[in-house]
Structure 1
Amino acid sequence: MGTVLKALLQERHIQTVSAFNREYDRAALTIDSGAVGAGPKKAQFYRWLAGNISTLPYPHHCRVLQGMFPGWTAAELFSEYNESASLSDRVLNGNLPENGRVERISDIASVFPRRADFLESSSPQDLFRDARTIDLAGISLNILCQQCSDSEVLRMMREGTFIRCLFLDPDGLSIQARELEEGHAPGALTSLTRLNIHMLQRVRSKWKSTMGGNIAIRLYDAPARFNICIVDSEVCVMQPYLPFARGLESPTFVARQNGSRGIFQTFSEVFEEMWCEGTEPAVEQNQGIPA
């Protein structure tokens, strides 16, 4: 079944040994600098996840782990995980006063200082591998168009994945304003966005009626405020577009649907409103394929 530690790492998408040790070292820098670089080797790491240990790890490991997961003791982290239990409230409750703040943010599973850090811990291939629906809104949607190959996107369509992609209009005024804000040469984001749209149109042109999934493409022309990625109406990866900062440099938040009114619900509604207002690309190359 696995330990509470394993469940927490899966929730944060840092369940590989390399991703874990990066987070371990970050925590060790502030807790016990002598532990930097002393994270578990591969075999030891997977024993931790499975609970195949007779005693708790060395004290320096316990100190770092408790720093990584405020509110949890080392003994609790290595206890057997009960799948009916909720982790979110406990993880977030570490140093927060009991005044309702936990409930308001309880659907936030993890926060990363930059999108690049999120991508290091959870690749798009892992995020999308078994997805039934993928909803994307942003500027150029590189998380799909640049991180996943044509063959990977085609596989998703074959296996029944429905993908909705909402791009910032490459012929609109808002993308020009964003180029200036990020300090790009005129046309840089425009060219990239057109390239990504054409990539998806090229893949969509291979659609057949025997495929269970499909791709829909729409455009919007408004200030780019957020990059939104929603998978299976369960997980929302969201980041703001900050002034003067490229998307890779912006904080990234991961929220999970838990049935309550929270971050997930807010950005799910934002996506649906933007999608309804979106328009088809002016030049379609779908060869009669339904959008």
Structure 2
Amino acid sequence: MATTETVLKNLLKQQHLQEHRQFVRAYDKAASTIDKELIGGGPSKATFYRWLGGVMTRLPHPGHCRVLEAMLPGWTADELFAPWHEGVPLQPRLRPAEAGPRAAAQLPQVIERPHRLADLSAVFTSRTEFTHELPPAVLFDGAMSVRSAGLSLNMLCQQYGDRALGALLDAGCTLQLMFLRPRGAAIQAREAEEGLTPGHLSMLTELNIEVTERLRRKLSPDSAERLHIRTYDETIRFNITIVDDRTCVVQPYLPDVRGLDAPTFIADRASDGETGLYGIFTGVFESLWERAEPR
């Protein structure tokens, strides 16, 4: 079969990586930056030299393409395996000359990524849309643990209600509720950011804390022990609610946007234990909880 040198071969020559041993070392280094499972998965010597000579009928599998694109930033796999000819620039075209701007979902680096959405299960454009699609009863009924950190925790204290919370606790559920401290510096800063009358969010938060503390006083001793209430006074970035160590609801606080109008993201813990968004936001909750003050 006739061979045709590839762009890849000439780029590797520039970096003195045209020998298989040196190439594999560089391959593993690049793999470690994108997916450690790809380390050690470089091409055999025979395959490597087929790549350089263009003796191929199709592109390598996506894992190889991802690593090659990490090794040679700005080049796509299609460009790397194109035939080399005089006049081909040895600098990457960060965007194909014949194409306009592309959405991220059209980029090879995204298309070929195996778990493009990590453990993200759903996205809603607002909290209103989220609660319409997933009412609190759907999210919380039957739960055995609920951890929630945010500002006033309206989803639990107002939309779900103290009777429903009491039923959860009596059924054995453990609740960890973390409110932004009323009258604290952080809640005052958020009131200013939303353009609200000073004290508006503080009064709402005080009401919700009072509701949960009153509920705790009405519960049996066993149920009351499962209701934990804390407050914190730190810049608020997210409302985080974790149900049954399985589902994490994340709602950001954005500048000049009311909480109801902010998007909502749902991440489900990966069954294979792979670290994802669920683990990141669970870690944020646990860190805040350790610093918060019990009530």
Asked if these proteins are the same fold (TM beyond 0.5), I'd say yes
1:263 and 2:271 matched: no
* Equivalent position SS for 2:209: helix
1:166 and 2:178 matched: yes
CA contact (8 A) 2:147 2:243 kept: yes
TM-score (norm 1): 0.62
1:103 and 2:98 matched: no
Give the AA of the match of 1:272: E
Q: Distance in 2 between matches of 1:96 and 1:155?
A: 49
Give the AA of the match of 1:240: P
Give the AA of the match of 2:203: S
CA contact (8 A) 2:137 2:160 kept: yes
The 10-residue stretch of structure 1 (94-103 or 217-226) with the greater mean CA deviation from structure 2: 94-103
Match of 1:136 in 2: 148
Q: Distance in 1 between matches of 2:191 and 2:135?
A: 27
1:156 and 2:151 matched: no
Q: Equivalent of 1:235, from 247, 252, 256?
A: 247
Which structure has the larger Rg over C-alpha atoms?
Answer: 2
1:120 and 2:137 matched: no
* Equivalent position SS for 1:243: coil
Which structure 2 residue ranges, 5 or more long, are not aligned? 1-104
TM-score (norm 2): 0.61
Describe the superposition over 1:193-243 as per-residue Cα deviations: whole angstroms up to 9, x where unpaired.
Answer: 000000000111122135497211111101110010100010000011000
Question: Share of identical aligned residues, percent?
Answer: 42
Q: Distance in 2 between matches of 1:115 and 1:96?
A: 30
Give the AA of the match of 1:263: L
Give the AA of the match of 1:265: G
Shift in Å, 1:104: 5.6
CA gap of 1:242–1:202, structure 2 versus 1, over 3 A, is same
CA contact (8 A) 1:174 1:224 kept: yes
Q: Distance in 2 between matches of 1:195 and 1:129?
A: 23
Shift in Å, 1:268: 0.2
Describe the superposition over 1:98-119 as per-residue Cα deviations: whole angstroms up to 9, x where unpaired.
Answer: 6564526320000000011000
CA gap of 1:96–1:112, structure 2 versus 1, over 3 A, is farther
1:198 and 2:210 matched: yes
Which structure 1 residue ranges, 5 or more long, are not aligned? 1-93, 282-291
CA gap of 1:205–1:180, structure 2 versus 1, over 3 A, is same
Q: Distance in 1 between matches of 2:232 and 2:224?
A: 27
Q: Distance in 1 between matches of 2:131 and 2:253?
A: 17
Match of 2:260 in 1: 248
Q: Distance in 1 between matches of 2:259 and 2:114?
A: 28
Give the AA of the match of 1:117: E
1:273 and 2:295 matched: no
- The count of aligned residue pairs is 189
Give the AA of the match of 2:226: N
